[in-house]
Amino acid sequence: MIIESLKREALDAAGQVKKAYGEYRHFSSKCRHARSFSAPWEEISGLLEFFEDQDFYNALRVPDDNTGWQHAGKGGRKIAADYLYERWLKGTNPGIFTNSIPSECKAIWSMGPDERKSHVQRWTAMLLDERFATLQKWVGQYNESQHEIDVQFGDADAHKLQQKSIIGCTTTGAAKQSRLIHAAKPDVIIVEEAGEILESHVLTALAPTVKQLVLIGDHKQLRPKVNNFTLTVEKGDGFDLNRSLFERLIIQGASHKTLSKQHRMVPEISKFPRQLTYPDLVDGPNTSGRERIRGLRDRVVFLNHGKQEASDKDIRDRRDPTVKESKRNPFEAEMVLNCVKYLGQQGYATTQIVVLTPYLGQLRTIQDLLRDNNLYADLSDMDQAELVRAGLISKAAADLGKQPLRISTIGMLEP
């Protein structure tokens, strides 16, 4: 019964929001597009009578006639309520009411056109603010009703969660449902891939009942993604927004355990992270003796060339808003195409090949080149979303069935 009542309140408020927004938008549109727009006298009069200087109201309203007779103008037509207001707007005198204007209001009729226009613009702005305040009031009431509905449902959900031993969610989900997480009264929180999670996202999940926080990840690999390079550790200005709580604690000497044996990379590849980052890294026994790559002399090949990169002005990498365009290198894209073809000639299927590139502009260049050669790219979901957002591929094209050859910007490749 309570929820149904709240739903009705929310529905009524939604109707009022729609009505208030329509009025605000209509009035705002008139203010923007009409050079000499002025609100009607019935609105201006109310404003002047209750919120502005009373002298304006007395100067611009048609005097009352308590005799029962009505004022008439030329041709015997009845004098409208906005008679004086319209004459004042046009910069003329009070007309048939010249002798009826109170002495304290004569200065108002002596104003020049610019001063009169200034007052009208100020009154119009005040009326627009009133409409916005009304819209704000109903939006607030709608939000309050929705919040109460969420609280009612949340109480039921919280009761369900309290019956569970394990609750699994993303850190974004934990932030959105922080009230539920707190209501569940967790005592242990485990964060996986903690090195890639923003510190704020971890903190939102910490309820007062938490006794132990377990962070699992690698503080020496990818940091959390931040869409402003000036706030990153790499920029060096001290903001360090992309430094995870995991990395920060380890830097400050927090106790931690590190795995030293790896089972993925062959020794020819593991020597690079060993020399650069992990001096104590040990290769597992199953990393040796694997089949060599057909057609290549070594497992790792570096190529050097002097072909300069170009700019892709149609797209920029959102991870660095300070840069207005992305990068591309058509020569390297041709190299990628030839490498893919060559590996195919050695008997490798496209499902066994992954292409990584550092720039979104280069990703599009490679994708176009592969498509022109009948090799279709399977973009990572995040890169695909970026290209749709930039208007470089349609949503319909993005929803088509995925093709085998995988291509992604660095850091966005899904496992």
Tens digit of pLDDT for each residue in 224-255? 988 888 899 999 999 999 999 999 999 999 99
Q: How would residue 316 be classed by pLDDT, with cut points 50, 70 and 90?
A: low
End-to-end CA distance of the chain: 48
Q: Is the pLDDT of residue 397 over 60?
A: no
* β-strand partners of 310: 328
User: Can you list the pairs that 89-95 forms with residues at least 24 positions away whose Cβ atoms lie under 8 Å?
Assistant: 89/38, 89/116, 89/120, 91/116
Interatomic CA distance for residues 352 and 154, integer angstroms:
46
Specify the domain boundaries for CATH 3.40.50.300 within the chain.
171-258
Arithmetic mean of pLDDT, 339-361 = 88
CB-based contacts of 317, cutoff 8 Å, min separation 6:
323, 326, 359, 360, 361, 409
Could you give phi then psi for residue 77, rounded to 5 degrees? Answer: -75, 145
* Per-residue tokens: 64: 């009352």
pLDDT at 5 over 90: no
Task: Note the pLDDT tens digit of each residue in 38-66.
Answer: 777 878 887 887 776 678 888 888 876 65
pTM: 0.54
Residue 401 confidence (pLDDT): 47
Phi-psi region of 218 (alpha: psi -120 to 50; beta: other; left: phi over 0): beta
* pLDDT given at position 146: 84
- Partner residues linked to 409 by β-bridges: 357
Q: What is the pLDDT of residue 413?
A: 47
Name the CATH superfamily for 171-258: P-loop containing nucleotide triphosphate hydrolases (3.40.50.300)
Is residue 415's pLDDT more than 60?
no
Q: Is residue 178 scored above 90 in pLDDT? A: no
Measure Cα distances from 283 to 262, 288, 289 in Å.
Answer: 5, 8, 12
Name which residue leads in pLDDT, 180 or 321: 180
> Of all residues in the chain, what percent carry a pLDDT higher than 70?
81
Query: Where is pLDDT greater, at 180 or 267?
Result: 267
69-78, 130-139, 148-157: range with lowest mean pLDDT? 69-78
Is residue 110 over pLDDT 50?
yes
Please state the rounded mean pLDDT for residues 326-334: 91
| CB neighbour list of residue 328: distance below 8 Å, 6 or more residues apart | 309, 310, 311, 312, 359, 361, 362, 364, 365
Position 321 pLDDT exceeds 60? no
What average pLDDT does this structure show over 388-414?
58
pLDDT band at 409 (very low <50, low <70, confident <90, very high): low
